[in-house]
Structure 1
């Protein structure tokens, strides 16, 4: 009897793939923070919902990724025979030092503050082009026609993907998010992920050949050259990390722009304030990141026994899921009505880009892309309104929180 009561209670507290949770996870987060801030899920992970524990786990060296061991524990001893898991095990996002340090060191120079600032004119040009394309139509889907094109174009630029190959990427469906969710994949989902992965690998192998023959001033060329050096990068690492950069380089930015525009239009006072004072855009982006983060969760594994984390003992090898979206609304850090959108809120320091050694490489690039996109849209289409801001269609994934579509008219 007790077991069933416990399971029913668990499902109520943290059921991240339930449609109502995906539509609005924030009431559940509040319940977790107040009733069970270090909650244990049915599949045996600890869930940290308060800012204090989540931010500690992200930065503390006693926690790491330990991807292979974690995946084997979840899917059984044959897990690493699955191409998708083998591929993910090479992502720098899933690595611990020293491999993480080596891989990140190879790409970090492409994302320096200086390099990213230099991209502003290019970003502005792409945003203006997207708006020129639809301005006379009087309506568009803010996701597909606007938010999606910008980061995909920029990451294609950075990776040296030729113009004539890009249309495929614009048509591409955004299905990858499910891989990151904290709910085990079904056999069918693993098969689908393996197939998608094989297709993408075929394309990127062709891109590597192209860049070996005709090197460019792009990240793929640099990594291909590091691979030829032999000591710095294996072919599997090259493939996995270019594909990671491609996905990470657009997914979360699309969601930041979409979620930000939705939040603004659901809060007309804030929309009016930003239109009247466009200089608020930089702080507004931080508030969008805090208010409805495009990444809701990131995980670590205890690399040793932890005596006390939020009142719980964490045995070595146990995963801890950090609810970034919940930490961002923790009243202990944001005492002034954290569930309210306030683009003038002081000291906004969202956890949306993670923390510690895995802090998002592209954080500054994402901020600038969102800033230019939203500022330009409000300036050029001042009477734009959402067709249905109350019931938008969310993607069915939890970790990557974003909209499937967001139709708008003017």
Structure 2
């Protein structure tokens, strides 16, 4: 099923084309129908159906093998680039036993109880964001609303002092390209290195501060684990704080933004949710399914896989799992999967991944989105999004989100 069935509309999987970024879902449907295990020009296998995606995420025959995979794509010198070197220490890119050790050090900060206890603080931040703009009658739902909440919460959790935060609120949101399946240009690598080195410099100073003045925060916990030499090296510490900071806000900003856009594009669902706020918890699951903030995650075959959707995949190959596509697979959601339905039963989106890499912050993201969207509907019931037809998407594929979303009331 290769080149000869390429439809007239160009390549089956061209994730950075503007058309794909605007609306990937018709492209996914084509992939699921025509070529469910698709091979890209870079030799990656792309899984688009729910059955194969959920298997790859949970099956121990698939891993991350980040250094080997990246070296094969970019050549033997690539690990000298600071940004790739840093990513090689991310627990997101690690396999056991390193993954188990790193995740074990941070998992305590994300327990259900800890996260539930943050509800009042989350509510306070959301209310402050609305208070700041309510008299103006307009705002950008991304910058003025969706962005401030998760950034503030992750700063709280990491122990980033109040007086340092303004720079984080203003920092650019263009790190997402690092995760895309299309290789980075030399210029993009240069920018990635610069941003990574700035972050490293900042966090190294913060570690010093927390060694002298410990706090009740994650960085203090990790600095103490680093002093217990066999638990954490300084490079691992720095890289994983950068990961937690990025993962701790990027995806939640997109969940809130994509969810609000979806609601306003479906006025019947918006009206239903305003009338029945108790549907909000289920609605969040549906937003995750309908337009996932993370569209894709990757694994590497640790041995030959004989039959993934009818295809044999040799050892050492990359398999890209299209989470956004699996979430709309009619085999799992037979009732009009392309429709937003906040009352949909049995919604179990794959948006947080699965297996050992299941998102640490899943419950935190859900609660942040739930409080943010519920409060907005309650306090600004007549809010209108200025342009629901052609909003401006960020030019990244793996992290799907809006660059801005102006609204008024």
Deviation at 1:148, TM superposition (A): 0.1
Deviation at 1:12, TM superposition (A): 2.4
Residue matched to 2:347? 348
Moved more, 369-378 or 204-213: 204-213
Query: Measured at CA, do residues 409 and 27 of structure 1 come closer, stay the same or move farther in structure 2, by a change above 3 Å?
Result: same
Give the Cα–Cα distance (whole angstroms) in 2 for the partners of residues 122 and 190 of structure 1: 37
Tell whether the 8 Å contact from 1:151 to 1:253 is kept in structure 2 after alignment. yes
Question: Quick check: 1:14 aligned with 2:13?
Answer: yes
Deviation at 1:82, TM superposition (A): 1.0
Question: Quick check: 1:362 aligned with 2:361?
Answer: yes
Residues 148-185 of structure 1: CA deviation (Å, up to 9, x unaligned):
00000000000000000000000011010000000011
Tell whether the 8 Å contact from 2:204 to 2:238 is kept in structure 1 after alignment. yes
Residue matched to 1:332? 331
Question: Quick check: 1:139 aligned with 2:148?
Answer: no
Residues 125-155 of structure 1: CA deviation (Å, up to 9, x unaligned):
0000000000000000000000000000000
Deviation at 1:5, TM superposition (A): 6.3
How many residue pairs align between the two structures? 409
Give the Cα–Cα distance (whole angstroms) in 1 for the partners of residues 217 and 316 of structure 2: 38
Tell whether the 8 Å contact from 1:151 to 1:254 is kept in structure 2 after alignment. yes
Residue matched to 1:208? 207
Residue matched to 1:161? 160
With structure 1 as the length reference, what TM-score do the two structures score?
0.98
Residues 239-283 of structure 1: CA deviation (Å, up to 9, x unaligned):
000010000000000000000000000000000000000000000
Residue matched to 1:172? 171
Residue matched to 1:373? 372
Tell whether the 8 Å contact from 2:6 to 2:12 is kept in structure 1 after alignment. no
Residues 65-102 of structure 1: CA deviation (Å, up to 9, x unaligned):
00000000000111111111110000000000000000
Residues 336-393 of structure 1: CA deviation (Å, up to 9, x unaligned):
0000000000000000000000000000000000000000000000000000011000
The runs of 4+ residues in structure 1 deviating greater than 4 Å are 3-11
Give the Cα–Cα distance (whole angstroms) in 2 for the partners of residues 247 and 346 of structure 1: 32
Deviation at 1:7, TM superposition (A): 7.8
With structure 2 as the length reference, what TM-score do the two structures score?
0.98
Question: In structure 2, the residue corresponding to 1:313 is in which secondary structure?
Answer: strand
Tell whether the 8 Å contact from 1:10 to 1:42 is kept in structure 2 after alignment. no
Residue matched to 2:381? 382
Question: In structure 2, the residue corresponding to 1:12 is in which secondary structure?
Answer: coil
Residue matched to 1:51? 50
Tell whether the 8 Å contact from 2:53 to 2:323 is kept in structure 1 after alignment. yes
Give the Cα–Cα distance (whole angstroms) in 1 for the partners of residues 6 and 83 of structure 2: 30
Structure 1 unaligned spans of 5+: none
Give the Cα–Cα distance (whole angstroms) in 2 for the partners of residues 9 and 368 of structure 1: 43
